[in-house]
Structure 1
Amino acid sequence: MPHDANQTIRTWYIDPDAEDRMADGHAPIWRHLIDLMVERDLSEKTVLDFGCNQGGLLRHLHAIRPFRKALGVDIAEDSIAKADALKGNLPLQYQVGAKLEGWDEEFDLAISHEVIYLIPDIDAHASDIWRALKPGGVYYAVTGCHTDNPLWPKWRELVARRTNTVVQDRSITDYARCFSKAGFEVSGRKLEYDGFIPFVEDGWTPDFADALEYYTGTKIMFRLVKRAA
Structure 2
Amino acid sequence: MPGEEFDELVDFFDRMAQTKWLSTIHEQLINQTGSWNGLSVLDVGCGTGRLLLKGGKNAERLTGIDLSSKMIDRCRKLAGEADYQHCEFLVGDAYHLPFKDESFDLALSTCVMFLLPEPEKGVGEIVRVIKPGGKMAMLNPSVHMTEQAASGYCSKHQIKDFEKTAMKQWSKVATRRHSYDEGALNTLLTSLGFGSVEHLPVLDGLAFITTAKKAK
Same-fold call, TM cutoff 0.5: yes
What is the aligned partner in structure 1 of residue 29 from structure 2?
33
What is the aligned partner in structure 2 of residue 62 from structure 1?
56
Is 1:124 matched with 2:121?
yes
What is the aligned partner in structure 2 of residue 208 from structure 1?
none
- Choose which of 164, 179, 194 in structure 2 pairs with 1:170: 179
After TM superposition, give the deviation of residue 167 of structure 1 in Å.
4.4
The code of the aligned residue for 2:75 comes to A
What is the aligned partner in structure 1 of residue 157 from structure 2?
none
Unaligned runs of 5+ in 1: 193-214
After TM superposition, give the deviation of residue 175 of structure 1 in Å.
2.5
* Contact 1:111/1:139 (<8 A) preserved: yes
TM-score when normalising by structure 1: 0.73
After TM superposition, give the deviation of residue 15 of structure 1 in Å.
5.2
Q: Deviation per CA, 1:170-198: give whole Å up to 9, x if none.
A: 32233222211111115222244xxxxxx
Relative to 1, partners in 2 of residues 1:150 and 1:139: Cα closer, same or farther, differing over 3 Å? closer
After TM superposition, give the deviation of residue 120 of structure 1 in Å.
1.4
Unaligned runs of 5+ in 2: 151-167
RMSD: 2.7
After TM superposition, give the deviation of residue 100 of structure 1 in Å.
1.1
Q: Percent identity?
A: 23
Name the CA distance, whole Å, in 1 between partners of 2:6 and 2:27.
24
* Contact 1:10/1:78 (<8 A) preserved: no
Flag the structure with higher helix content: 2
What is the aligned partner in structure 1 of residue 4 from structure 2?
9
- Choose which of 182, 185, 188 in structure 1 pairs with 2:198: 188
What is the aligned partner in structure 1 of residue 88 from structure 2?
93
- 1:143-222 matches, cutoff 5 A: 143=140, 145-146=141-142, 148-151=143-146, 158=169, 167-172=176-181, 173-192=183-202, 215-222=203-210
After TM superposition, give the deviation of residue 152 of structure 1 in Å.
5.9
What is the aligned partner in structure 2 of residue 224 from structure 1?
212
Name the CA distance, whole Å, in 2 between partners of 1:185 and 1:151.
29
Name the CA distance, whole Å, in 2 between partners of 1:114 and 1:178.
17
TM-score when normalising by structure 2: 0.77
- Choose which of 38, 41, 44 in structure 2 pairs with 1:47: 41
Name the CA distance, whole Å, in 1 between partners of 2:116 and 2:90.
17
* Contact 1:55/1:72 (<8 A) preserved: yes
After TM superposition, give the deviation of residue 11 of structure 1 in Å.
2.1
The code of the aligned residue for 2:117 comes to P
What is the aligned partner in structure 1 of residue 164 from structure 2?
none
